[in-house]
Structure 1
Amino acid sequence: MAKQFDVAVIGAGAAGMMCAATAGQRGKRVVLIDHAERLAEKIRISGGGRCNFTNINAGPQNYLSENPHFCRSALSRYTPQDFLALVKRHRIAWHEKHRGQLFCDDSSEQIIRMLKAECDAGNVSWRMPCKIAAFEKTADGFVLKTDQGEIAARNVVVATGGLSIPKIGATDLGYRVAKQFDLKVVEPRPGLVPLTFDGPGWAPFAPLAGIALEVDVETGSGKGRNAKRGYFREDLLFTHRGLSGPAILQISSYWQPGTPILLNLLPEIDVAQVLIESKTTLKKQLGNLLSQWLPARLAEGLLLAKGFAPDARLADMPDAKLRQLGDAINRWAIVPTGSEGYRKAEVTLGGVDTRELSQQSMMANKVPGLYFIGETVDVTGWLGGYNFQWAWASGFAAGSAIE
């Protein structure tokens, strides 16, 4: 006979444990199911092993979705300060890095232990590792057929995450469940991912792997229905296959295949204006002059790629050519040929269409008792702790609403 629960939460990651703990501490009989052998591997590897567990600036403006206002309700009811209070209660030391990012002083294991302790405080039952073979709706709720027997639950919460980092067990189970119940899914694709560049045009830049600098990066436009424009000032990193670093991870979530990204390699300098004004006062070669502002290898590579001789004298250059060089540095438009894919993506864009869900409870509007939370849903945060905050907020919203 199937074991009976009020709530079955599928997925013991950030959102799933938060939901299970919240519901369990409200007196609900909760079972938490996960196919992995190790608990919360994505939390474990996050933030270089120190878990960037939230961002104090998190708000709806930091998230992408086809339905951008959906996240507002959950984020307003469980804030970064709420999660920080939980961290402090468990006496976990933390520190703030730039732009509001909060990290553990010690290890991401502390966040995992904290969430496990919160689940234990709610008497949550565990089934792990446990694989689900079938999922059925019944008159009384749901029946999950697993390799540990049948589990019956009046409510089911799907917190199975997205497709990013398959080596730690990412699956498409959440999307399959949604489609089983005729819920729309926004096409998933990799987010917060390095971008790649193939072809002869990139050849001069391939040897620059390892060079990093702060840049402005943008893509897209604000025009048209559902148009998305992204703009960030962050660090850029050249790789053997293309570009990475926080600037590129951020902009990758806004980038559409076949469209350019625009880089300003010297955001504090109007390069053309400075070069033209300096023609009569500076007796320098272009390469030496640009190396005062840019890493020397990058300055030389950029000049060669744009048809300039690094040893050309500034005084000999026509103003029109210097404007062309200024544009190449302040407005470098390049078209990525692709991305590194789910293998290196930190998150998955898209997911269960939020128009199918209640923004108060995260329950599917046409399937009472079925909830979707966390990365499974079409809500994707910026780099820097925002996706964890969505996990906490959406998990709390569902865990608080389940009857």
Structure 2
Amino acid sequence: MAETVPVLDPAPLSAEEEAVALLRIAAEVEGAAMAQYLFAAGSLLPDVSLAVAGFDHPILSNDWYDLIRDIAKQEMGHLITVQNLLLSLDAAPHLDRENFPLESPLYPFPFKLQPVRLESLAKFVCAEAPREVPATDQSDFAEAVEQAKIVVGEVSRAGQVYERLFWLFQDADAPQQPWLSVKNPFPSWPNWHVDPAKMAFNQDRQAETTEWRGSDSGDPPDSAVYVLQVRDKATAREAVYKIGLQGEGPVGEPGVTHFDKFLRVYREQRALAQHAGAPAFARNQADDPSVGLNGPATITDPKALVWAQLANTRYQMLLMDIALAISVGLAGTAPGTTATRRHFYTWAFSEMVGTIKPLSAELRQMPLILGGSADGPLAGVPYELPNEHLPSNVTDQLQYLRDRVAESTNLRARIASTFAPTPKQKSLLTQMAGVDATIVDKLG
């Protein structure tokens, strides 16, 4: 898989500017990966199993679900850690996703929501690949590259971004602990390193491990969710290295990295595809379900459409909760409100666990199109963002969150009055109403 040397536009004027530009790209990649992995995991049917010749274990849909969901959680930790790295360089948090230039080879592939199948797994394998794939995996990796190209063309490694970041955070060109094997992926780029005097900003704003239910830095990378603070160049290198241990670098242990895990699922999916009469492991969910007009997978079923609009609103609220949680210091409140940092990260978890997860469970059972057949394509959470950039200053972020709460209130009322929600759906709407009321009370 050839790697094209990218160009940053505009060209950075210092190592610090380059680091900020790459960290923004990393944030977009992590945020996109998290949404795509969650969508893929949600497409899986529960409790499906099959014994296949050549495997010493049954292939289990529940195992795939747990594995992909756990990877998505680790990507969430990476996203928060990247925010800490940005803050340490005195840059604003960055949670945009769809506004990046898709022509840049630094992005693994265009954002696309897909259920679990061979092509989507192939993309995940390629994006998470190390610089040097072990000999025992090279044949299957080459096949995955071909499968991915069927869908999207060349797929780039996310690891290039982190390799260059580690190099920038070194004190000089000589490798440093803890990643002595790292190689500068772009030696034609400027030969500079971050000035230690231009780091370690915003210590009171950086996300803490306990706030985001993260793991200790010494916990094993197989299961840890790393949320790491950055105090200097050494801790910046440690943060980048820890991310690399899990998914975006060539330093992970065999069987532990995202690459290894996705390659295992890819092999199992390939075996299922070759097994006559194998049961379906994933639902017939449409690629890229959308609330927009005239798209290839526009949701036209009225009930599914309003639920999908609500899901988009809650997803955007989640991103604002994260941004505000790291825009407010450890003490005090957000300007003009009674909301503390604790409120924002608590609301973020309410969205992740109490809202978006059950919304996904509802939407993946609803038809995509009006009058669709029982076996027709299903909808799902679109994870859509507005066309403009998300706000970057606290005042605008607070207003954005207020506006999304108003949208949520209107959509919930419409669902309740028009679409006869089930008892389970009523409970979910009540849960959201409670969160919204708290936000209104705190933000005014």
**TM-score (ref. length: structure 1):** 0.23
Higher strand share: 1
Higher helix share: 2
Higher relative contact order (CA 8 A, sep 6+): 1
Larger Rg: 1
**TM-score (ref. length: structure 2):** 0.21
